[in-house]
Structure 1
Amino acid sequence: MVRLQDENLLSIGQLARAGGVGVETIRYYQRLGLMALPARPSGGGTSGGTRKYGPPDVERLKFIRLAQAAGFTLKQIDRLIELDATSDRVEVRQMARNRIEALDVQIKELKRARASLNRLADRCDDTEGGPCPILKAFEA
């Protein structure tokens, strides 16, 4: 019989699916200290000694994934998690501004690469003889 408090608990596989990651990703986050490693339950019953994860673990996993999508490194995410337990908005805001600056640099580089590739694509005309300028540019 499942205890009422166990109804919302997940196996590591279920947690991985809920967060859209693999089990090994969760284990990696645990090794880094980004996620807690729950204790193995003792005793018999249906748990079979399987670690169980609750809603806070799902929230933490989603936080990590969203922060990664915003471009934060795992080390930065670790710091964001630490700051979440404090009221230090100044550092969090500065980390976000630094990330925005880095994104702006990446955007400029991507725009430059796109413009360059557009120029090469325009010059790569089927009617002209010789190698395509795109391929020549990649050989250099």
Structure 2
Amino acid sequence: MDEKMTIGRLAAAAGVNVETVRFYQRSGLIDEPMRPHDGYRTYGDGDIRRIRFIKRAQLLGFTLDEISSLLRLEGSLACNGTRELAIRKLAMVESKLTDLHAMKTALEGMVAQCDSEERSEGCPIIQALIDD
């Protein structure tokens, strides 16, 4: 049975804060339930699943616009569209990894120059940043 809960209980169950739930509502990622006569909107288990989906997708690097696209594809037979989004995201991650590896190599070189006995008077890291 789908338990009805307030926004505070929903947020706690989904592992986010209330403002995150409200932000997702304003962004159109989750629906804002109608306000009943007693004044308290209630949410169900489906809302928890949807918020957890959004958070997992964000951890994988998907933007809110991309997540919105994924949510529109949810439940459809559009696996190819979902796959294409994932392929584009994977290519972006691979590009970032290449950039991070280049940064790591450059920083390792700068640190090694600092540790070198043959350095000049100034800081080799500062000098490398000025020269490049």
TM-score normalised to structure 1 length: 0.82
- State the partner residue of 2:44: 54
Unaligned ranges ≥5, structure 1: 44-48
- State the partner residue of 2:6: 11
- Judged with a 3 Å threshold, the aligned counterparts in structure 2 of structure 1 residues 40 and 137 are, in CA distance, closer, same or farther, namely farther
- Judged with a 3 Å threshold, the aligned counterparts in structure 2 of structure 1 residues 136 and 19 are, in CA distance, closer, same or farther, namely farther
Find 2:123's aligned residue among 107, 132, 137.
132
Q: Pairwise mapping of residues 19-38 of structure 1 onto structure 2 (< 5 A)? A: 19-38=14-33
Q: For 2:81 and 2:74, locate their aligned partners in 1 and report how far apart those are by CA, in whole Å.
A: 11
- State the partner residue of 1:46: none
Whether the 8 Å contact between 1:35 and 1:60 is mirrored in structure 2 is yes
The number of residue pairs the alignment matches comes to 130
How many Å apart are 1:134 and its aligned residue? 2.3
- Judged with a 3 Å threshold, the aligned counterparts in structure 2 of structure 1 residues 110 and 52 are, in CA distance, closer, same or farther, namely same
How many Å apart are 1:139 and its aligned residue? 5.1
TM-score normalised to structure 2 length: 0.86
Q: For 2:8 and 2:126, locate their aligned partners in 1 and report how far apart those are by CA, in whole Å.
A: 45
Q: For 1:123 and 1:18, locate their aligned partners in 2 and report how far apart those are by CA, in whole Å.
A: 51
Amino acid at match of 1:71: G
- State the partner residue of 1:90: 80
Q: For 1:26 and 1:77, locate their aligned partners in 2 and report how far apart those are by CA, in whole Å.
A: 15
Find 2:104's aligned residue among 103, 114, 125.
114
Identical counterparts, % of pairs:
36
- The 4+ residue runs of structure 1 with deviation greater than 6 A are none
